[in-house]
Amino acid sequence: MAYWLFKSEPSTWSFAQQVACGTKGTHWNGVRNHQAANNMKAMVPGDLGFFYHSNEERAVVGLVEVIKPYYPDPSDESGRFGMVDIKALKAVPNPVTLAAIKAEPRLADMALVRQSRLSVMPVNDSHWALICKMGGVSAK
DNA sequence: GCCAACGTTGGC
DNA sequence: GCCAACGTTGGC
């Protein structure tokens, strides 16, 4: 079981919209970055992820599950990039802000902190457990 | 609104 | 193949 973090601007695609898609989920399209795409290639159904709101909010607000492995993104004319499908699992009761993550020394080496522009990134087991705890949500 | 980080493009 | 120019992202 691997863990991930999906970053989105809430004004473009929010966790509330993801929840509204229900158990069928949606495709996570629009990624045009090879590092992010490579992370998605490594995903398998059943993997879990954080849903992070960037820009105006800057917080982990929900948990999602990967439901379909990497496949081509039809919105990419170059054919170079793909996407996965995810569905919302549950909201994080106490959203974990970027400020809180930066204030926690054990999270200092997260990709979220080190590579602010990366939109899809891996999360290791201990980081996953700690952020779940900070957010007041059970890890699964 | 500004700026740093960084990926991409295009000229050479 | 190098590198300057440029565009985009995202934190502040």
pLDDT at position A75, please?
A: 85
Residue nearest to nucleotide C12 (CA to C1'): A55
Average pLDDT value for residue range A114-118: 93
A117 touches strand C (CB under 7 A): yes
Integer angstrom CA distances of residue A125 from A81, A98, A129, A131:
27, 18, 6, 10
Give the DSSP letter of residue A24.
G
Written in H, E and C, the secondary structure of A53-100 is ECCCCCEEEEEEEEEEEEEECCCCCCCCCEEEEEEEEEEEEEEEEHHH
Confidence of residue A125 (pLDDT cuts 50, 70, 90): very high
A24 touches strand C (CB under 7 A): no
A58 touches strand B (CB under 7 A): no
Q: Give the residue from A112, A93, A113 showing the smallest Cα distance to A5.
A: A112
Q: Which of residues 67-126 of A touch strand B (CB under 7 A)?
A: 115-117
Q: Name the nucleotide with the smallest C1'–CA separation from A80.
A: B8
Which pTM value belongs to this model? 0.95
* Paired sense of beta strands A3-8 and A48-53, if any: parallel
Domains of chain A are 3-135 (3.10.590.10)
How buried is residue A77: exposed, middle or buried, by Cβ count under 10 Å (0-12/13-18/19+)? exposed
Confidence check: pLDDT of A133 > 90: yes
Our measurement of CA A33 to C1' C5, in angstroms, reads 20
Average pLDDT value for residue range A71-95: 92
Identify the residue with better confidence: A55 or A78: A55
